[in-house]
A and B are shown apart, each in its own frame.
Chain A
Amino acid sequence: MVYYGEEDEEEKENLTVRELLTEIKDISEVIVDLAYAALLFDSQEIGAEVHHLCSRMDTLNHEIKIRMMIASRTAQDAIQLSGLLQVAEGAAAISAAAGDIVELLELNPKGNPIVSLVLKEAEEKIRLLTLSDRSDMRGKSLEDLSVETETGMRVIAIKRGIRWIYDPEETERLKECDLLVVRGTEDGYERLRCFTSGVNKWPVYPEEE
């Protein structure tokens, strides 16, 4: 297992409690989707990213605990801050569960139709889309397009050549042949597919004055 979280060590010092908790919550959301994606696509690479996020989560949790202890002055403080810690612990438990899901890769999920069936039938599914050279989404950033607002589909990872981009930044520009790992409803998937294949043009709205 490869952990490569060391480069984050220095910047954490500057994060506020609010920022720490925001990142903790963000990880707890995307890590579960990535874990299911790892199972669905039988991908050790996505699995490694889940483990990386797990260790980042541990670091953040440790940091937030220390901050809470320093900040607590009165019994009232302690009650409220312990609640905050409990939220962080809950989020950490979610990420630990995602880590356990990824361990299931050892049990050959590909050879077990039930898992892929469940992940494909779920209310919100994880799907793959390739960006066609005919799609006008090429060269635009996720922010320019507002992909999720427009289609209800969240891009949880992008595979570009042999490189993976997990939980891409809003400023990430899409490129031809990008493989998008998306999460959302069937209806939203169908809508997004029309855009990624180039069948439909990405809608443009008049600027509001």
Chain B
Amino acid sequence: MGLEEMLLEIKDTSELMVDLAYSSLLYNNRDIAEEVYQLDGRMRELENEIQEMAIEKATEDKDIKKALLVIRLAQSVGEISKAALKIADVVRRDVPPHPVIQLALRETDVIITSVVVGEGSDLDGATLGKVRLATNTGMYAIAVRRGRRYIYGPNKTTTIMGGDTLYVRGPEDGEQYFRDLASGKEHLGPDDLKGP
């Protein structure tokens, strides 16, 4: 794995971890909180590899600033993931999170919500890329629960099935349309499925 790829992965992972951490709080869901811990292990691994590789490169091309930039960026991204861990940790207590936390999370600019995908809806049997979920609804998928299994950080190629619970993040005014689309009350137009 190259330096770019690793940096890309830690950046995307850190963002997923923050989304999952807030989701775990909102739903008082320990499974999701646990995933934040799992992802953190991967983050630490990558952070170490990035440091080593950046130093290795610096000994070759003598560009110390470049290596320093990469190492410090990776470190800051790592700090974001540690912060996500701290947030998710609240769910792992014996006492449920304070209800004000959930109230506050529902009022934010970026809300998190979940919906059960209806059978026969446009999402049933389609990949996230095909329905262009984020582009068409403003809602960005962060996790899918299928039975007892979770898919964290689903991508364009992830197929959604009827009965799945979809966890998403996005603007509040997009929530209703997203719900209607997922339940099968609303349908996408032919233009929505085509790319630009």
Q: Is the CB of A149 within 8 A of B98?
A: no
The residue in chain A whose Cβ has the minimal distance to the Cβ of B83 is A93
Which residues of chain B are within 8 angstroms of A39 by Cβ–Cβ distance? 73
Task: Determine how close the nearest CB of chain A comes to the CB of B92; give it in whole angstroms.
Answer: 10
Chain B 56-96 per-residue mask, 1 if CB under 8 angstroms from chain A, else 0: 00000000011011101101110110111111011001011
B184 at the interface (CB under 8 A from A): no
**A148 and B138 contacting across the interface, CB-CB below 8 Å:** yes
> Nearest residue in B to A76 (C-beta to C-beta)?
B95
Chain B: interface residue total (CB-CB under 8 A): 61
Verify B135–A18 contact, CB threshold 8 A. Answer: no
Residues in A neighbouring B157, C-beta threshold 8 A: none
Q: Name which of A1-9, A173-181, A185-193 contacts chain B.
A: A185-193
Q: Is the CB of B108 within 8 A of A84?
A: no
Does A149 contact B137, Cβ atoms closer than 8 Å?
Answer: yes
On whether A112 and B87 interact (CB within 8 A), knowing A84-B100, A124-B15, A154-B171, the answer reads no
Residues in B with CB closer than 8 Å to A123 are 12, 15, 155
- CB of B21 within 8 Å of the partner chain: yes
Find chain A residues with CB under 8 A from B104 CB.
Answer: 17-19, 21-22, 25
Decide: B18 and A83 in contact? CB cutoff 8 A. Answer: no
B45 at the interface (CB under 8 A from A): no
- Chain B contact surface mostly: helix
| In the complex, B167 has a CB within 8 A of chain A | no
In angstroms, Cα B50 to Cα A118, docked, is 13
Known: A86-B87, A107-B69, A114-B70. A124 touches B140 (CB 8 A): yes
Which of A79, A97, A100, A118 counts the most B-chain CB atoms under 10 A from its CB? A118
The answer, yes or no, to whether B195 is at the interface (CB within 8 Å) is yes
Q: Are B93 and A83 in contact (CB under 8 A)?
A: yes
Within 8 A of B (CB), among A43-100: 76, 79-81, 83-84, 86-87, 89-91, 93-94, 96-98, 100
9 closest Cβ contacts across the A-B interface? Answer: A149-B174, A93-B83, A21-B104, A152-B134, A90-B87, A97-B79, A149-B138, A90-B86, A190-B196
Residues of A within 8 A of B (CB): 17-19, 21-22, 25-26, 28-30, 32, 39, 76, 79-81, 83-84, 86-87, 89-91, 93-94, 96-98, 100-101, 103-104, 107-109, 111-112, 114-115, 117-119, 121-124, 143, 146, 148-152, 154, 167, 184-185, 187-188, 190-191, 193-194
Sample (21) of A-B pairs whose CB atoms are under 8 Å apart: A83-B95, A83-B101, A84-B90, A84-B100, A91-B83, A97-B76, A97-B79, A104-B69, A109-B69, A114-B66, A114-B69, A114-B70, A118-B11, A122-B8, A124-B12, A146-B138, A151-B138, A152-B136, A152-B137, A187-B132, A190-B195
Residues of B within 8 A of A (CB): 3-4, 7-8, 11-12, 15, 18, 21-22, 25, 65-66, 68-70, 72-73, 75-77, 79-80, 82-87, 89-90, 93, 95-98, 100-101, 103-105, 107-110, 132, 134-140, 155, 170-171, 173-174, 177, 195-196
